[in-house]
Chains A and B, each alone.
Chain A
Amino acid sequence: MYTVPQLTDFSGQALNAEKERLTDAVESEAAAVKDEAAQKLFRDRWMARKNGILTQVNDLWLKASPKEAKRDVGALVNDIKILVESTVDATALGLKPQSVTVSDRLDITLPGIRRPIGAEHPVLRTMNDVISVFRAMGYSVAEGPEVETDFYNFEALNFPPNHPARDTQDTLTIADQESKPLRERLLLRTHTSPVQIRTMEQQKPPVRIICPGKVHRRDTPDASHSPVFHQVEGLAVDTNITFSDLKGTLDHAMKALFGSAVKTRFFPSFFPFTEPSADVAISCIICGGKGCRTCKQTGWVELMGCGMVDPSVFDFVKDNGYDSTKISGFAFGMGVERLAMMKYGIDDIQLLFQGDVRFLQQESN
Chain B
Amino acid sequence: MKLSAQWLREFVEIPVDDARLADDLTHAGIAVETATGSWDGPILDTVFDMDITTNRPDAMNHYGAAREASALYDLPLKPTVPKLPTAKPGTGFPIEIQEPDLCPRFTARVVRNVVIRPSPAPITKRLALLDHRGISNVVDASNYVLWEIGKPTHAFDLDLLEGGKIVIRKACAGETLKTLDGIERKLTNEDLIVADGRKPIALAGVMGGFDTMITDKTKNILIESAWFDPATVRAMSRRHGLHTDASHRFERGADFESTILSCNRVAELVLASGVGEPNGELEGDIIDIIARPLPRTSVILHLAEVRRHLGKELTYDEVCRILQRLGFTLTPATADENAELPVTIPSWRLDVTREIDLIEEIARQHGYNKFPNTLPPFSGSVTELPNAPKDARLRTSLLALGYNEAISMTFIAPEHAKTFSAADVLMVANPLSDEASAMRTSLIPGMLDMLAWNLNRGSDNVRLFESGNIFEKTATSRDEQKRICMGATGNAIPTSVHEKSRPYSFFDVKGDIEALLSAFLNSVAFDTGAAPYFHPGRSARAIIGGKQVAQFGQIHPDIAAVRKFRQDVFVAEIYLDKLYEEKLREPRYSTPSKFPAVARDFSFVFPETTAFEDIRIVVRGLPIPLLAAFDPVETFRGGNTAAGKYSLLLRAIFQSPDRTLREEELALWSTQIMQSLVNLGGALRT
Residue ranges of A at the interface with B (Cβ–Cβ < 8 Å): 110-111, 113, 115-121, 123-124, 135, 137-143, 145-147, 162-165, 167-168, 172-177, 186, 188, 206-208, 214, 216, 218, 220-221, 227-228, 236, 238, 240-245, 247-249, 251-252, 265-270, 275-278, 308, 310-311, 328, 352-358, 360-361
Contact = CB atoms under 8 A, between A and B. Distances in A.
Nearest to A307: B360
B311 A243 contact: yes
Most buried by A among B309, B378, B436, B447: B309
A164 B28 CA distance: 22
Contact of B463 (A118, A124, A176, A354): A118
Contacts of B668: none
Contacts of A172: 428-431
B402 A116 contact: yes
Interface in B246-303: 251-252
B407 A352 contact: yes
Given A244-B373, A270-B55, A111 B497 contact: yes
Contacts, number: 246
Given A111-B496, A356-B457, A278 B356 contact: no
Nearest to A215: B410
Interface in B18-35: 26-29, 31
B464 A242 contact: no
Given A115-B402, A252-B375, A357 B497 contact: no
Tell me which of A145, A147, A186, A251 has the highest count of chain B C-beta atoms within 10 A of its own C-beta: A147
Contacts of A248: 372-376
Contact of B356 (A236, A275, A358): A275
23 contacts: A118-B400, A118-B402, A118-B404, A118-B463, A172-B428, A172-B431, A175-B429, A206-B378, A214-B468, A216-B410, A218-B430, A238-B378, A241-B376, A243-B371, A245-B375, A268-B28, A269-B53, A276-B363, A276-B364, A354-B450, A355-B407, A355-B408, A357-B459
Given A173-B429, A310-B356, A328-B308, A245 B404 contact: no
B382 interface: yes
A150 to B, nearest CB: 13
B300 to A, nearest CB: 13
Contacts of A267: 26-27, 29, 31, 368
Q: Which of A143, A244, A268 has the most CB of B within 10 A?
A: A268
Interface in B37-73: 53-56
Contact of B464 (A165, A216, A355): A355
B522 to A, nearest CB: 26
Contacts of A140: 382-384
Interface string B589-626: 00000000000000000000000000000000000000
Contacts of A228: 407, 409-410
Given A135-B382, A245-B376, A118 B471 contact: no
B385 A353 contact: no
A244 B382 CA distance: 23
Nearest to A172: B428
A177 B404 contact: no
B378 A208 contact: yes
Nearest to A213: B469
B549 interface: no
B171 to A, nearest CB: 19
A206 to B, nearest CB: 5
B449 to A, nearest CB: 8
B474 to A, nearest CB: 11
Contact of A113 (B410, B477, B478, B498): B498
Interface in B462-476: 462-466, 468-469, 471
A236 B357 CA distance: 20
B326 to A, nearest CB: 13
B345 to A, nearest CB: 15
B355 to A, nearest CB: 9
Contacts of B312: 242-244
Contacts of A208: 378, 380, 382
A15 B235 CA distance: 95
A171 to B, nearest CB: 8
Nearest to A329: B376
B240 interface: no
B360 to A, nearest CB: 4
B221 interface: no
A165 B399 contact: no
B436 to A, nearest CB: 8
B462 A357 contact: yes
Contacts of A124: 405, 407
A361 B357 CA distance: 50
A196 to B, nearest CB: 16
Given A218-B430, A276-B360, A251 B373 contact: yes
B427 A244 contact: no
Contacts of A116: 402, 463, 494
Contacts of B463: 116, 118, 357
A243 B309 contact: yes
Contacts of B16: none
A146 B469 contact: yes
B379 interface: yes
A186 B477 CA distance: 8
Interface residues of B, number: 90
A113 to B, nearest CB: 5
A135 B381 CA distance: 10
Given A164-B252, A188-B428, A275-B356, A120 B405 contact: yes
A248 to B, nearest CB: 4
Contact of B454 (A110, A265, A356): A356
B423 to A, nearest CB: 14
Given A118-B405, A355-B407, 10 more contacts: A121-B404, A142-B385, A165-B55, A172-B431, A228-B407, A267-B31, A268-B368, A270-B53, A275-B359, A277-B360
A355 B454 contact: yes
A164 B373 contact: no
A116 B512 CA distance: 14
A147 B406 contact: no
B563 interface: no
Nearest to A135: B382
A325 B54 CA distance: 27
B402 A357 contact: no
B72 to A, nearest CB: 12
Interface in B435-472: 436, 439, 447, 449-451, 453-454, 457, 459, 462-466, 468-469, 471
Contacts of B502: none
B427 A174 contact: yes
Contacts of A352: 407
B382 A358 contact: no
A228 B346 CA distance: 42
A188 B429 CA distance: 11
B371 A244 contact: yes
A215 to B, nearest CB: 10
Most buried by B among A242, A251, A268, A355: A355
B432 interface: yes
A240 B375 CA distance: 11
B453 A355 contact: yes
Residue among B399, B406, B447 having the largest count of chain A Cβ atoms under 10 Å = B406
A270 B428 contact: no
B376 A162 contact: no
Interface centre among B376, B388, B436, B494 (most CB of A within 10 A): B376
B195 interface: no
B339 interface: no
Closest 6 A-B residue pairs measured CB to CB? A268-B29, A242-B311, A355-B450, A244-B311, A270-B53, A355-B406
A238 B376 contact: yes
A119 B399 contact: yes
A352 B401 CA distance: 21
Contacts of A121: 404-407
Contact of A147 (B382, B480, B496): B480
Contact of B309 (A123, A266, A308, A356): A308
B334 interface: no
